[in-house]
Amino acid sequence: MTPTEARETLDTARTEAAQAHETIEALAERVRAGDEHVTAEQIAGQRQLAELAELRVEAAERKLAAAVAADRDARANAIGAAVRELVDEDDTQPLIEAVQAAVAALEHLVGLDAARTARIHAVARDAVAINEELKQVDPAAGSWPSDAYDFRGQTFPASVTALREGRTAAVPPGRLAAVALALALTGDRQMEADARETLKAAPDAVVVRVAGEVPGLAAALRVTPEEWQGISEETRYRLRQQGRNPIEQQERAA
């Protein structure tokens, strides 16, 4: 019996019990009104029927409880099977490869931005230097004697301006990475909120925590022993903080 069927049976039993009690009350009221045709046997018989109806209600309640328990047990078993199947069949490799591709793309972005920033900073530094030199030659020229040559420059933040033509300024790579993330998450407020909350934590701690949530990701993010030998001690420290040092290095540190 399903829970729905058991509830229907219980409703029917309760209705029959209520009707039996109503019949008893109706017979009693007739007696109170002076009806001498109502017999004790009628009232007693009806009370027996009401008692039987109440027992049927109890039986229906037990059946409902059993049906609900059986249904809950069946659903729990089915969900347990689905969980085990999901764990057995979960393939995180495409996700890991996507993370690695995203890291590579961001590294490429950072590299391009760093090269651009270096070019801008070099020219801006020269522009600032010559502007200061021009000031010393002609103090009356004002703050920007380089205007006479149709340019200005500053080093913090690094930027140069060609008067009446345009301006070129360095953009921190973190901002560009943030733009990429914002564009990828646009339209999903929950993912945007998760990203904001995650980015509040220390970056190294984020790497450790999230890598541990995706089976295989932590191992995929580790550098190789060969790569380890070719990096600075400062970078090694960051990799240790992120749990990305080679496995033998982790075992040694433990």
Predicted local distance difference test score (pLDDT) of residue 84: 96
88 vs 83, 216, 219, CA distance in Å? 9, 14, 19
Q: What string of DSSP letters covers 67-92?
A: HHHHHHHHHHHHHHHHHHHHHHH---
Provide long-range contacts, Cβ within 8 A and 24+ apart, for 87-95: 90/215, 92/214, 92/215, 92/216, 92/217, 93/216, 95/214, 95/217
Mean pLDDT in residue range 95-102: 94
E-assigned strands of 103-240?
151-155, 158-162, 166-169
Predicted local distance difference test score (pLDDT) of residue 160: 97
Question: Cα–Cα distance between 34 and 106 in angstroms, integer?
Answer: 97
The residue ranges of every structural domain in the chain are: 3-89, 91-188, 201-254
Q: Band of the pLDDT at 7, cuts 50, 70, 90?
A: very high
Predicted local distance difference test score (pLDDT) of residue 200: 87
Mean pLDDT in residue range 14-25: 94
Is the omega angle on the peptide bond into residue 157 within 30 degrees of 0, that is, cis? yes
Q: Please check the confidence at residue 249 and state whether its pLDDT lies above 80.
A: no
Predicted local distance difference test score (pLDDT) of residue 251: 46
The better pLDDT of the pair 251, 27 is held by 27
Please, what is the average pLDDT of the chain?
Answer: 92
Global model pTM greater than 0.75: no
Q: Please check the confidence at residue 70 and state whether its pLDDT lies above 80.
A: yes
Is the separation of the CB atoms in 246 and 223 below 8 Å?
yes
Predicted local distance difference test score (pLDDT) of residue 254: 46
pLDDT digits (tens, 9 = 90+) for 161-213: 999 999 999 999 989 998 999 899 888 889 889 888 888 888 899 999 999 99
Q: Residue 169 corresponds to which tokens in the numbers above?
A: 């300024």
Question: Cα–Cα distance between 147 and 127 in angstroms, integer?
Answer: 11
Question: Cα–Cα distance between 251 and 243 in angstroms, integer?
Answer: 11
Identity of residue 48: Q
Q: Residue 40 corresponds to which tokens in the numbers above?
A: 């004790």
Q: Please check the confidence at residue 250 and state whether its pLDDT lies above 80.
A: no
Q: Please check the confidence at residue 219 and state whether its pLDDT lies above 50.
A: yes
Angle between helix 40-89 and helix 3-32 axes, rounded to 10 deg? 160
